[in-house]
Structure 1
Amino acid sequence: MHQLDHLADVARNAVRIGHELIKTTRPHTVTEKTDRDTYTEVDVRIEREIRAYLAETTPEIGFIGEEEGRSDGAADSKYVWGLDPIDGTSNFVHGVPLSAVSLALMQDDRTVVAAISLPYMELHYSATLGGGAFVNGKRLETSKTVELSKSIVAIGDYALGEGSAEKNRQRIALTAALAAQVERVRMFGSAAHDFVWLAEGRIDGAIVLSNKELDLAAGILIAREAGAVVMDTSGAQHTRASAHTVAAAPGVADQLLSLVQSVV
């Protein structure tokens, strides 16, 4: 078996650990990281259990988790696992069934393996670099939509914490611009949902006015392997250094980018 195929199996098995915990566990402790940004003991438990599984199955690969940071060997590894144990923690805390487990295998400035699980829907997404993207074993392909007026576009959460008022003026202006031109605007509260549903053709575009690697790395690979165009707001290919994230089905990518650039 090709090395990436084997590592994709490992990634799929890893996110299933979190998948089962999200389905069967409710949070008892909610802790604030920053202004209105929280984590729960379930986030920490998922991260620790997946970290332990990956340390056992791929001890040569480093690990970075959203809640507890880097493993000792992460800086020296050729590859590094990056985990968001619950993408959509606020949804999870409030009982909104839009949460995901998101795991990426990163090499330098690129993601080579991705696995995302949506526990409440029994949807399991994965991709390898150059190997396509799949959901529950079925190959993914973006929508064929070519008109922005017939598109559903997801946007990322509004900003929190220091500087959020200024950031949100831009986000609200973008929301208004989208509302005037697209069929519907959606805010799912989980970047993983945004990108896997773009990959699956459920939506036609996704905009996140930030670039948090652990939130986005897995979803971006899955979207790209399904045919999506993923850019910075400059129109350049999205990378780890990008400030923002604009992704779309090919037929509406240029139209969506132009709209975003008119605001941002």
Structure 2
Amino acid sequence: MSGYRRLLPVAEKAVAHAAGMMRHRSPGTLTAKGERDFASQLDYAIEREVRAFLRDATPEIGFLGEEDGVRGTGDMQWVLDPIDGTANFVRGLPLCAVSLGLLHDDEAVLGVIEAPFLGNRYAATRGDGATVDGRPIRASGTTRLSDAIVAIGDYAVGADAAARNRPRLALTARLAEAVQRVRMVGSAALDLAWLAEGRIDATLTLCNYPWDMTAGTAIAREAGAVVLDHDGSAHHPGSSVTLGITPGLTEQVLALVGEALREG
């Protein structure tokens, strides 16, 4: 058992509370965060309540939230996306989640992701394996692109969206020619959780925000998947992209992404 496992009940309690808020409250007022992007009133409410709970439970650990930023300092930091997939949540689509991870010296060492409307909770701590609803999970054994289901991250919106979408569109086209199916779920946390569970074989997001990726990275790695930057180096909070891949497809997927980035 790793030393991080003592923090798992704290994280699970925080996430369970947030998921309950999602199930029982409406999104409320929407606040623009740029062109075609927004946060809901509930995003802010969940973040405030989870931050306060974690501050009381683990005062020695800092906090980073998507909506209100950093609180506290130190070599360990909780990282929260209060509602990953807000656009889905607002429209009543069930593909959304609470995502709470823990960074230690910029390494994802713990993750809890709960999908309130799907009834699943994913969890992992470094060295202890990954679970869904308490059951151990492993990444798939897929080795051929033609057998692979691959998720891609949302297309860019806001400033310079056209330029930022060129490599995304190039990657989509290359995947469409090579893999069994391409999926766009709209929740990076669920993409990484499903990679860990073997439901999909890769998830490719051509950007990187810690609140989206920390929990899922910890879970996917503990399930045997790899999470990399575009050059094949280990993914970390400063990486430019987030590539989660089942091991048997790593080289093939990295080659496709490299081609798309050069083309875009």
Same fold per superposition (TM over 0.5): yes
1:179: which partner in 2? 176
Give CA deviations for 1:63-93 in whole Å, capped at 9, x if unaligned.
111111222xx22x23111110000000011
Q: TM-score, normalised by structure 2?
A: 0.96
Moved more, 106-115 or 87-96: 106-115
In the alignment, structure 1 residue 13 sits paired with structure 2 residue 34 = no
Moved more, 187-196 or 123-132: 123-132
1:160: which partner in 2? 157
Residue identity matched to 1:179: A
In the alignment, structure 1 segments of 5+ residues that lack a partner are none
1:88: which partner in 2? 85
2:29: which partner in 1? 29
In structure 1, distance between residues paired with 2:48 and 2:230: 35
In the alignment, structure 1 residue 40 sits paired with structure 2 residue 40 = yes
1:237: which partner in 2? 234
Seen in structure 2, the aligned counterparts of structure 1 residues 47 and 149 have a Cα distance that, compared at 3 Å, is same
Residue identity matched to 1:98: L
In structure 2, distance between residues paired with 1:252 and 1:56: 43
Seen in structure 2, the aligned counterparts of structure 1 residues 230 and 2 have a Cα distance that, compared at 3 Å, is closer
Residue identity matched to 1:236: S
How far has the Cα of 1:155 moved from its partner? 0.3
Give CA deviations for 1:128-150 in whole Å, capped at 9, x if unaligned.
11111111111110011111101
1:261: which partner in 2? 258
- Of 206, 212, 219, 2:209 maps to 212
How far has the Cα of 1:156 moved from its partner? 0.3
In the alignment, structure 2 segments of 5+ residues that lack a partner are none
In structure 2, distance between residues paired with 1:129 and 1:117: 18
Residue identity matched to 1:229: V
Residue identity matched to 2:181: R
Give CA deviations for 1:197-231 in whole Å, capped at 9, x if unaligned.
00000000000001111110110110011000111
In structure 2, distance between residues paired with 1:144 and 1:107: 29
How far has the Cα of 1:2 moved from its partner? 5.8
In structure 1, distance between residues paired with 2:257 and 2:224: 20
In structure 2, distance between residues paired with 1:224 and 1:28: 35
Moved more, 128-137 or 191-200: 128-137
In structure 2, distance between residues paired with 1:28 and 1:217: 27
- Of 164, 169, 172, 2:166 maps to 169
In the alignment, structure 1 residue 144 sits paired with structure 2 residue 127 = no
3-state SS in 2 of match to 1:207 = strand
In structure 2, distance between residues paired with 1:163 and 1:142: 35
In structure 2, distance between residues paired with 1:52 and 1:240: 23
3-state SS in 1 of match to 2:124 = strand
- Deviating beyond 6 angstroms after TM superposition, the runs of 4 or more aligned structure 1 residues are none
RMSD over aligned CA atoms reads: 1.2
How many pairs were matched up? 261
In structure 2, distance between residues paired with 1:154 and 1:34: 25
Residue identity matched to 2:95: L
In structure 1, distance between residues paired with 2:83 and 2:32: 15
How far has the Cα of 1:3 moved from its partner? 3.8
3-state SS in 2 of match to 1:43 = helix
Q: State the percentage of identical aligned residues.
A: 49
2:186: which partner in 1? 189
